[in-house]
Amino acid sequence: MAGGGKTLEGMADGLVTETLVEAASTFFGARKALEDEIELYRRRTEELERAEAEVLRRAAALHSLLPDAAAVRGFYAALGVDPGPLPEAAAGAAPAREAVRAPFSLLPWRRYAGLLLAAYAALAEAAEAYLHGRHATGPGGRKVQTANVGQLRDWCRALNARIETLNRDQRPSGTMSFVRGLDPARQERSRLADAPIADYASSLDQELAFAPVSCPAAEHPVTPELPAAHKVREAVLAHAKTLWAADSAAARARAAAWARARGGR
């Protein structure tokens, strides 16, 4: 009987140990998985920020061909587009003239019009990649989609929902309470200390809680949807002709300044 008692006691201890290992694995495994996902999300967010910066630089290049802020908004209005925060956001960016394929024409106004269209095409291409992503070659030659507003917005919301669930359902205090419950003798000895332990557990829950991730770029994109250049080609060329007719000397000067700046890069 004594031997049998020891065997039963050993079995009970083994079950407790196994349960403790499983509880720890579940608790720390869930936290590690969430930490890894948050880190991956942050890297993708940085990628989106670089795509946003490229949009702003290309917008600045386009806007440098227009007379002033009112003319910038007039340009988008001619295309039937509300630019939203794009003009103001691009105001301090360095123009990405190197991204624009400047056309050749013998007629000065055609050169200006073609340059305006090419600058818009470069912006529309960057805006499309920023908002919806583009296919690229990833590690191992796999085709991947670049970080984009739609992807990061959905991911941010889903990730914050996971964070809220883990903070609520897998609190450190809950794991501590479960572990203490596996040792009734120790639980009884600590009964008189329940209040301070409860305070400590609450503090630990707050200290180890995951903070929600932020997604300002995804929730507040810097550019609206822009029509592809071929769809608004005639509207851009007509608008360029109007600008040229209004002040050809100024338009010629802007095109010349563009060429000088691009040649100096």
Q: Which domain holds residue 94?
A: 2-134+143-149+212-263
- Give CA–CA dist 63/216, Å, rounded: 25
Query: Is 190 among the domain residues?
Result: no
Lowest-pLDDT choice from 3-12, 79-88, 118-127, 243-252:
3-12
Give, in order, the Cα–Cα distances in Å from 235 to each of 13, 70, 75, 97: 80, 18, 9, 22
- Quick: pLDDT tens for 132-174: 999 877 677 778 889 999 999 999 999 999 999 989 887 766 5
Query: Is 173 among the domain residues?
Result: no
Closest CA to 130 of 110, 111, 153: 153
pLDDT at 195: 47
- Quick: pLDDT tens for 22-32: 655 667 778 88
pLDDT at 124 over 90: yes
Lowest-pLDDT choice from 56-65, 163-172, 188-197, 232-241:
188-197
Task: Give ∠ CA 166-170-175 in degrees, rounded to 5.
Answer: 165
Query: Is 240 among the domain residues?
Result: yes
Using 50, 70 and 90 to split pLDDT, how confident is the model at 79?
A: very high
pLDDT at 202: 64
Query: Is 158 among the domain residues?
Result: no
Tally the domains of the chain.
1
Q: What is the pTM assigned to this prediction? A: 0.78
Neighbours of 240 (CB within 10 A): 25
Structure tokens belonging to residue 91: 């105001």
Answer with the residue of higher pLDDT: 204 or 237. Answer: 237
Lowest-pLDDT choice from 2-6, 49-53, 127-131, 216-220:
2-6
Query: Is 257 among the domain residues?
Result: yes
pLDDT at 153: 92
Query: Is 194 among the domain residues?
Result: no
Query: Is 12 among the domain residues?
Result: yes
- Quick: pLDDT tens for 176-218: 554 555 455 555 555 544 545 555 556 677 777 889 998 877 7
Query: Is 233 among the domain residues?
Result: yes
- Check: CB of residue 240 under 8 Å from CB of residue 78: no
Helical (H) or strand (E) element with 136: strand 135-137
